[in-house]
Amino acid sequence: MLNNGSSIPLYLQLKQSIMEDIHHNIYLPGERLPTEPELCEKYKVSRITVRKAVLDLVEEGYLIKQQGKGTFVKQFKVKRELVAVNGYSEYMISAGITPHPKIISYAVKEATKDMAEKLNAPLNSHVLELKRLLYFDDEPLSYEISTYSLDLYSNLMQFVCENASMHKILKEYYGIIPACNNKILNVIFAEKETAEYLKCNVRDALYEIEKIAFDDKQMPIYHSVLYYITSHVSFTITSEFHSK
């Protein structure tokens, strides 16, 4: 309940209460906020207080108004530089957020002809396939399938653990630092397994990014495929201008 005797204006208390409810998933991203009368009843405040609080939250980007439909909780959207070389952990740390990867599975397999070519590895040589969920706060941001040549990284499995940065492992134990990468971006429909991991619906639109990371000698380091819900991420491309 809000405190009428507080020196903090009621609309600011209401703003804080609504933001806390959003944070605790009482109001989910994309979900319609209760109507003004419902908010008045729930928080025991006037319509003027509700309108002021909601308007502030709209202007601050937490809520979005849709004409004729109501006010909705804005879905979070992460911005990622499409050509960036940094991995998930480096990006999250740069954004001031603790990385939260979760390993789904990892297994040693024989490289297919296609994967052997992409990793410049012998056909039927052994590779490590690592499946992870990468989180933003408590929400799954991306489902990732990465493949590493065990000819290049022997004993890699012993270093893989839940919260480890794969880029950090490659640097500390193998002296490998990604210098550039090739990426292919497609839009696909979510299948059952991917939808379950990303908590979306089957046939929701997903970004599919296939990436091959290279070292400074243009030798492949690893191959990965990442899946993002299109409504949760925006990709940017930054180019540099070089004057003659």
Sketch the domain layout of the chain as residue ranges. 10-73, 78-236
**Do 10-73 and 78-236 have matching folds?**
no
Q: How far is CA 146 from the centre of its chain?
A: 16
Superfamily of domain 78-236 in CATH is Chorismate lyase-like (3.40.1410.10)
Packing angle, helices 36-43 and 47-59, rounded to 10: 110
Instruction: Check residue 244 and give its pLDDT.
Output: 53
CATH architecture, domain 10-73: Orthogonal Bundle (1.10)
pLDDT averaged over consecutive 10-residue blocks of the chain (244 residues)?
A: 81 88 80 92 92 89 83 78 79 72 94 96 94 85 95 93 90 94 94 92 91 96 94 75 55
Instruction: Check residue 76 and give its pLDDT.
Output: 66
Contact 14, 53 (CB under 8 A): yes
Instruction: Check residue 140 and give its pLDDT.
Output: 85
Span 223-242, pLDDT tens digits: 999 999 887 787 888 766 55
